[in-house]
Amino acid sequence: MKQFVCFLVLSFSFFVPANAQVGGGGAWRTLEPMPSARQEISTAVLNGKIYVIAGFTSTGASTNTVEVYDPTTNSWTSAAPIPILTNHNNAAVAAGKLYTFGGTSNRTFLYNPQNNTWADVAPMNFQHGNTAAVGVIDDKIYVAGGNGGAMTERELEVYDPVANTWTVLVPMNVARNHTSGGVIDDKFYVVGGRGSTNAPTALEVYDPQTNAWTTLAPMPTARSGIGVGVVNGKLWVFGGEIPQIHAEVEVYNPISNSWRRLPDMPTPKHGIWATTIGNKIYIPAGAVVQGLGATNINEVFTVANKTADYDGDGKTDLSVFRAGNWFVLQSLDSSVRAVQFGLSSDTITPGDFDGDNRTDFAVFRNGTWFVLQSSSNTFLAFQFGLSTDKPVAADFDGDARTDIAVYRNGFWFIQG
């Protein structure tokens, strides 16, 4: 059964909260501080909650502390500490299970939320200390870079939770630690870091299908100790250091193999780990000065969903609707695209309904929605609303997909 949310609008105003900063690409908001100040942490999302694991205190002492942030209540709780004191460790959720690994040892721990305990599983082949890059593809955890023992800082291995095994894969092109990464379209991107000449700006991508790395456009700002999130099929890079502390926010678009600069983050930080939920990127804790300087500041960046980005390059495209025809001047290559979809009497309602980071052609007609999905070039038709309603499609729940909604006589109806 389809669900909807109904709101009665009595009055309204538009405002920006005192603790929010709005800039290009999205908006920042300060959240409830973390109970403890830590840096060189790792984080991961389990059941909608963010686990912040281990790291340094402001004096450089390793910890085993685990604190849990609930975005729905803007509050913190504690979870069982991990079995060892560590820092610069790594974390990921695969197949619905939370793991932390590396740092000061090659041990891997699995968290059981039912009884709030940690247990050893298969150890890694390498230590991957001083923060590696981590990505999850098909419920397998990929870990690249870091150092410790006899590592060259190029090592890549993958963990299979079903088999409980780590397998060594082809190494990266660039040696690095204090790095980070993310997954886009089942490919593992690794960016920034230190440990070799090119590491601070280097971007490369691993394809599990070919077991090969490809070098991509370098990041404009050289840095390590960064946080990376993936939203709308793009790589968002925050903060870092080398040699000074950084506040830069830069976004990589894999379609155009290009970077763009956004306004700085409100609190320059390094030793961070970014966590993505929908179109929100959470950055708790970290260090606010070069070297040791742990903080408990907790901030979130909400990525603005661009309208009319039909080619997925992160820029709004000029477009017109005329007699059932759409004409789009694509900013990616300056070509003009013409598509027949809809009737001249329809109300146009474009948006990213299928979540592929491209705007879909869509119209509203007599209470029925028609959507041409850019991901498959197929169309959907479904009824939601009355012929007299006003369509107000938007991303109301922050999952980076456009939601179906109508406005009627002071009420908003949003399809769940």
Place of tokens 């990616």: 332
User: What pLDDT, on a 0 to 100 scale, did the predictor assign at position 3?
Assistant: 55
- What is the arithmetic mean of pLDDT over 132-159? 98
Q: How far apart are CA 373 and CA 203, in angstroms?
A: 31
The encoded tokens of residue 169 equal: 């894969």
Same domain, 361 and 218: no
pLDDT band at 131 (very low <50, low <70, confident <90, very high): very high
Same domain, 231 and 90: yes
| Window from 87-96, 222-231, 303-312, 347-356 with minimum mean pLDDT | 303-312
The encoded tokens of residue 345 equal: 């009497």
| Window from 64-73, 99-108, 269-278, 311-320 with minimum mean pLDDT | 311-320
Judge whether 396 lies within some domain: yes
User: What pLDDT, on a 0 to 100 scale, did the predictor assign at position 10?
Assistant: 38
Question: Is the pLDDT assigned to residue 246 strictly greater than 90?
Answer: yes
User: What pLDDT, on a 0 to 100 scale, did the predictor assign at position 266?
Assistant: 97
Query: What's the chain's Rg over C-alpha atoms?
Result: 23
Q: How far apart are CA 8 and CA 411, in angstroms?
A: 4
Q: How far apart are CA 203 and CA 208, in angstroms?
A: 17
Domain extent at residue 227:
25-303
Name which of 263, 260, 259 is nearest 248 in CA terms. Answer: 263
Question: Is the pLDDT assigned to residue 408 strictly greater than 60?
Answer: yes
pLDDT band at 5 (very low <50, low <70, confident <90, very high): low
pLDDT band at 30 (very low <50, low <70, confident <90, very high): very high
Judge whether 17 lies within some domain: no
Judge whether 220 lies within some domain: yes
| Total count of domains within the chain | 2
pLDDT band at 9 (very low <50, low <70, confident <90, very high): very low
The residues with which 363 forms a beta bridge, in sequence order, are 348, 370
Residues 379-392 pLDDT 10s: 899 899 999 999 99
Task: Classify residue 16 by burial, with Cβ atoms within 10 Å: 0-12, 13-18, 19+.
Answer: exposed
Question: Is the pLDDT assigned to residue 359 strictly greater than 70?
Answer: yes
Judge whether 10 lies within some domain: no
User: What pLDDT, on a 0 to 100 scale, did the predictor assign at position 22?
Assistant: 42
pLDDT band at 357 (very low <50, low <70, confident <90, very high): confident
Question: Is the pLDDT assigned to residue 14 strictly greater than 80?
Answer: no
| Contact yes or no for 319/329 (Cβ under 8 A) | yes
Question: Is the pLDDT assigned to residue 163 strictly greater than 50?
Answer: yes
Same domain, 62 and 100: yes
Average per-residue pLDDT for the chain = 92
pLDDT band at 159 (very low <50, low <70, confident <90, very high): very high
Name which of 297, 230, 178 is nearest 45 in CA terms. Answer: 230
Among 303, 318, 335, the domain boundary falls at 303
Residues 324-349 pLDDT 10s: 999 999 888 899 999 999 998 999 99
CA angle 141, 143, 148 (to 5 degrees): 140
For residue 250, give the H/E element and its range. Answer: strand 249-253
Kindly report the CATH number assigned to the domain that includes residue 150.
Answer: 2.120.10.80
User: What pLDDT, on a 0 to 100 scale, did the predictor assign at position 12?
Assistant: 34
Cα–chain center distance at 177: 20
Judge whether 174 lies within some domain: yes
User: What pLDDT, on a 0 to 100 scale, did the predictor assign at position 308?
Assistant: 84
pLDDT band at 154 (very low <50, low <70, confident <90, very high): very high
- What is the arithmetic mean of pLDDT over 36-59? 98
| Contact yes or no for 400/352 (Cβ under 8 A) | yes
Q: What is the largest CA-CA distance in the chain?
A: 70
Same domain, 269 and 330: no
Same domain, 109 and 208: yes
Q: How far apart are CA 153 and CA 186, in angstroms?
A: 23
Question: Is the pLDDT assigned to residue 180 strictly greater than 90?
Answer: yes
Residues 262-297 pLDDT 10s: 999 999 999 999 999 988 999 999 999 999 999 999
Give all strands of the β-sheet with 405-408 in edge-to-edge order.
4-8, 411-415, 405-408, 390-391
Question: Is the pLDDT assigned to residue 396 strictly greater than 90?
Answer: no
Q: Give percent of the chain above pLDDT 70.
A: 93
Same domain, 322 and 291: no
Place of tokens 């963990």: 159
Same domain, 261 and 371: no
Same domain, 91 and 202: yes
Among 303, 335, 356, the domain boundary falls at 303
Interacting residues of 242 by C-beta distance below 8 A, sequence separation 6+:
194, 200, 222, 223, 224, 225
| Contact yes or no for 14/20 (Cβ under 8 A) | no
Same domain, 324 and 298: no
Same domain, 298 and 313: no
- What is the arithmetic mean of pLDDT over 35-57? 98
